[in-house]
Structure 1
Amino acid sequence: MLELVNLSKSYGGRAVLAALSHRFEPGEFVAIMGESGVGKSTLLNLIAGLDAPDSGEVRVDGTPMSALDDDAATRLRRTRMGFIFQAFHVLPHLTLLQNVALPLLLNGRPDAARATQMLDAVGLGGRGADFPRQLSGGELQRVAIARALVHRPALLLADEPTGNLDPDTAAGILHLLRTEIKASGAGAIMVTHSHAAAALADRTFVLTRAGLKLA
């Protein structure tokens, strides 16, 4: 489903990723750990096509991301991928329910019941009419998680999905992520510093300058 082929990326002359190659199996839930600055978030952005590698390529279902024009890459992200970013990217002018339902609407499958279900699942039931300004950082992260899962993506990319959550809430969210991923047969790549989070993955890798190695 997802293959990295000799992927390299530098910023300001500093190599972040160098000739990284790896194949992720379909339906696999993978955790990636590693020191800060080693390129974990960069790797997620390259996989999503939000950034371009200096060399090498990302292949999704056998298709190189570099072979897609902007419209095709946008359609692929919209229909096949779900994202949980550290910055949340929750839209301030939309209610919580509208934020969560947005992927369904963009894919021509509006489903208020599914959006409501996901808000309930992340512990924000009954707050669909609230706006992001009324939420704490941890609550915003839960909205972002609900939005990423609502359209049952084939590939979930999660960057520190529990970084702003207390341990009990984090445990519940992680179990939700795994349940949703496994129920739909999706693949998932989760960048995390949390060993508790990584323990729920099928496999855990450590990203170093030398590449990805099993933990």
Structure 2
Amino acid sequence: MRPADPDVSPALECRRLTKTYGSGRIVLDELDFALGAGEFVAIMGDSGVGKSTLLNLIAGLDTAESGDVLIDGARISNLSDDAATRLRRQKLGFVFQAFHVLPHLTLYQNVAVPLLLNGLPPAPARAMLAAVGLDGRDDDLPRQLSGGELQRVAIARALVHRPRLILADEPTGNLDPQTAHEVLGLLRAEIRATGAAAVMVTHSEAAAAFADRVLILADGALHAAALAR
């Protein structure tokens, strides 16, 4: 983990974030959380405690009753819908359990999508594919890949535009243990290489062990956890 620079805004800040479900049950209770550049954090907890809700709030896909989420110093609640969409395109990268690779696009085209959405040249997609071990596979289609290879494509797509923050929701949930180990090692290496911060939600202690620190979401708050390495 890289040391924090006091003159640089954290990649992510959650300030007194409060969220309730429709029943009135408090899911997040004035939650405070900060994440610096290059830091990889895993969030664990029982099903239904609000882990995915927290990711959605961070991404600006859901709204809290109170509190603020700041990404690279920008308060999401202050942004218009268009500005929030631009922030997600420019500052965030997403890795999902189900990959969400576009089936009719080549691997190169899939990875280039964030670059094109941000008005950037697509050429870095080729180098990013090579970085995740898929050199020479630019013109392959997703149907030609294994699950582990598809997750490598998803990681390349999440990182290619050099986002400030990666959000990963159960990224190894569809992978066997050996492939999961390889993919998480790759994700950690690429996070460190690019300087992105990352939040990973997972039920797996083996997956969480790849993070710099592990937090447990329980009773509306995040608690430090120590896992065997």
Normalization by structure 2: what TM-score? 0.84
Mean CA deviation greater in 193-202 or 31-40? 193-202
Separation in 1, partners of 2:193, 2:147: 28
Change (3 A) 1:38 1:127: same
Shift of 1:74: 1.2
Mean CA deviation greater in 79-88 or 126-135? 126-135
Equivalent residue letter for 1:27: G
Checking the alignment, whether the CA contact within 8 Å between 1:9 and 1:18 is kept in structure 2 is yes
Equivalent residue letter for 2:183: I
The equivalent of 2:77 in structure 1 is 66
The equivalent of 1:184 in structure 2 is 194
The equivalent of 1:167 in structure 2 is 177
Shift of 1:131: 3.2
The equivalent of 1:38 in structure 2 is 49
Mean CA deviation greater in 116-125 or 31-40? 116-125
Equivalent residue letter for 1:206: I
State which of 19, 29, 33 in structure 2 corresponds to 1:22. Answer: 33
Checking the alignment, whether the CA contact within 8 Å between 2:148 and 2:183 is kept in structure 1 is no
Shift of 1:57: 1.5
Checking the alignment, whether the CA contact within 8 Å between 2:107 and 2:140 is kept in structure 1 is yes
Shift of 1:126: 3.9
> Secondary structure of the residue that 2:97 maps to in structure 1?
coil
Checking the alignment, whether the CA contact within 8 Å between 1:27 and 1:188 is kept in structure 2 is yes
Identical pairs, percent: 69
Mean CA deviation greater in 84-93 or 142-151? 84-93
Shift of 1:208: 0.6
1:75-107 C-alpha deviation (Å, 9 max, x unpaired):
111111111123333223322221111111222
Equivalent residue letter for 1:109: L
The equivalent of 2:103 in structure 1 is 92
The equivalent of 2:7 in structure 1 is none
The equivalent of 1:119 in structure 2 is 129
Change (3 A) 1:109 1:94: same
1:50 equivalent in alignment to 2:61: yes
Equivalent residue letter for 2:168: A
Separation in 1, partners of 2:131, 2:194: 16
Separation in 2, partners of 1:87, 1:54: 30
Shift of 1:211: 0.5
> Secondary structure of the residue that 2:33 maps to in structure 1?
strand
Mean CA deviation greater in 182-191 or 16-25? 16-25
Mean CA deviation greater in 95-104 or 140-149? 140-149
1:108 equivalent in alignment to 2:119: yes
* Alignment gaps of 5+ in structure 2: 1-9
Change (3 A) 1:134 1:15: farther
Checking the alignment, whether the CA contact within 8 Å between 1:38 and 1:208 is kept in structure 2 is yes
Change (3 A) 1:52 1:83: same
Separation in 2, partners of 1:165, 1:120: 21
Separation in 1, partners of 2:198, 2:54: 13
1:150-170 C-alpha deviation (Å, 9 max, x unpaired):
222111111111222222222
The equivalent of 1:77 in structure 2 is 88
Change (3 A) 1:163 1:121: farther
Separation in 2, partners of 1:103, 1:180: 17
